[in-house]
Structure 1
Amino acid sequence: MLTTVLKKQTAGVVPPKDLTLPLNTILDIDHLETLLKDQDYKNEMIVYLGTVGGCDVQTTTRRVMSSLLVNSLALQLSWKGSGEKRSFQDLILCKVVIAAVHRSAPEQVTNAAVEAAIKVWLRNARDRDGGRKERMLRRHTQNQV
């Protein structure tokens, strides 16, 4: 019965209009932030991202973040926004991600758990898309010289 209710709630869920995911640039984030100021649009986005799913809080958060941002954009963000990086915690999008994970995760979720998973995902951006392998190869070639 629960499965039937969930299917009805998420049937026909499509990305909100005027949006192409994943986001590629800071300008895309700025555009989305403007759109998210409209409460109806924000709710549509939460419902859409809430359909991503996952087996636990960390997996759900990673899947939501990966569906939102390309890795090159994630490299330009951090939780607090230190240095040249932009703060993710100050974005409306952060609140949307937290709400979507609350909606999607199969267990009780705290904001702190979602925030911790976002921090880890942002921190590890440089390791994705071959970044770790590239650093290891550079380190290996420097040691041989």
Structure 2
Amino acid sequence: MYAVVTLQDSDEVMVVPLNWLSLDKKHCHWPPFKSTEKCTEAIQDRIIPQTGGKLWEKLRICFLGEYATFERAKEEQKEIEDWPHPLDTLLSGVKRQEFESTKVKSNNQPLPPVTPASTPRKSDDADKAEIVQMLRDIKSKVQENSTMLKKILKNNTVSEARSSTCAHSKNFKAKLNLPLGTLEDVAGTETVLKNSATRKKYVKHLSECGGFTTKDVVKKIMQAVITDDLAIQFNWQGRGDKQAFSQLLLTDVIRDAALNRNVNRGDCENEIKKYLSYAAGRKKPKEQEGLRNEIQNVISTSTMDKHPDIGAL
């Protein structure tokens, strides 16, 4: 997970890992690296914010929002940076007014003599610094409120659009032909997945299967993709008489869908391997249950034949 924040000392909008923030989200650890590339790499990898066991220094921040992927956070960062901020003009105006006021005094009037009763200039500077800091805090609050407002408007737009796209989603779901039950189904799906637009639709659909833990997310996706009868015919590498699941375009789609649920590639692959290896174990209880139901049906039919009066009751 990543966050978009404003560094209060510099007003820069930055993307940082969520694990670099303090619990109250008012401070952020910052790396001591001089190389921009090294800083970016540290952010993307979400490394622990310490060097040699010593935590990095903390910077004051204004928290603007959190996002599942680095790419999504960067998009939000760019949008925020492109927003116009009237307070920038206000800050510039305060500084310009101070300069012009000083200039008028120096050209038209002599400076007043310093007397014991006059207010020290140091106090004036402190007051001005306090005003500027207050304006900076207001600016950060405006950024935060703007982000919240944008999210509210976006959610309302999505809600309004959901009803119009519902029919389209149902139609597409019907075309998916999932879960796949035969090798012929797999071959057909591999063909349609060569189209990037169709592939994105598969990823979006499978991302909505649910689950909270890594195991649950991958399990729900696999259940939506493939039946146990077909899963028995696969293993990861295609050893023995099994097909290689790792070579399918469908597997890349599963990984992308899991990534949208914050499951990384390695963990996803491990759960897929387990799901395939346990397919036979899942299938056996289902067969036994089906056999019991069949026997029960035979017994019920036989009873009805011997005692037709039962059926009349």
- Aligned pairs for 1:71-110 (under 5 A) are 71-103=228-260, 105=261, 108-110=262-264
Q: Distance in 1 between matches of 2:284 and 2:237?
A: 25
Residue 275 (structure 2) pairs with residue 121 (structure 1): yes
Name the Cα RMSD after superposition: 2.8
Q: CA deviation at 1:129?
A: 2.8
Contact 1:77–1:122 at 8 Å: present in 2 too?
yes
Q: CA deviation at 1:118?
A: 0.3
- Aligned pairs for 1:125-140 (under 5 A) are 125-131=279-285
Contact 1:35–1:41 at 8 Å: present in 2 too?
yes
Q: Distance in 1 between matches of 2:177 and 2:287?
A: 30
Tell me the amino acid that sits aligned with residue 100 of structure 1.
Answer: A
Contact 1:46–1:97 at 8 Å: present in 2 too?
yes
Q: Distance in 2 between matches of 1:81 and 1:115?
A: 14
Q: CA deviation at 1:18?
A: 3.6
Structure number having the greater strand percentage:
2
Contact 1:126–1:132 at 8 Å: present in 2 too?
no
Q: Distance in 2 between matches of 1:8 and 1:76?
A: 41
Partner of 2:176: 19
Q: TM-score, normalised by structure 1?
A: 0.78
SS at match of 2:246: coil
Residue 196 (structure 2) pairs with residue 39 (structure 1): yes
Q: TM-score, normalised by structure 2?
A: 0.38
The more displaced of 58-67 and 122-131 is: 122-131
Residue 208 (structure 2) pairs with residue 51 (structure 1): yes
Greater RCO, 1 or 2 (C-alpha within 8 Å, sep 6+) = 1
Q: CA deviation at 1:8?
A: 3.4
SS at match of 1:94: helix
The more displaced of 27-36 and 12-21 is: 12-21
Structure 2 vs 1, CA of residues 133 and 27 (structure 1 numbering), >3 Å: closer, same or farther? Answer: closer
SS at match of 1:130: helix
Contact 1:46–1:100 at 8 Å: present in 2 too?
yes
Structure 2 vs 1, CA of residues 132 and 22 (structure 1 numbering), >3 Å: closer, same or farther? Answer: closer
Listed one character per residue, the Cα deviations across residues 38-92 of structure 1 (whole Å, up to 9, x for unaligned) are 0000000000111101011111100000111110000001001111111010000
Instruction: List runs of 5+ in structure 1 lacking aligned partners.
Output: 135-145
Contact 1:16–1:44 at 8 Å: present in 2 too?
no
Q: Distance in 1 between matches of 2:174 and 2:196?
A: 14
SS at match of 2:280: helix
Q: Distance in 1 between matches of 2:281 and 2:269?
A: 20
Listed one character per residue, the Cα deviations across residues 99-139 of structure 1 (whole Å, up to 9, x for unaligned) are 01111x2xx422000000000000100110335996xxxxx
Contact 2:229–2:283 at 8 Å: present in 1 too?
no
SS at match of 1:80: coil
Identity value in percent: 26
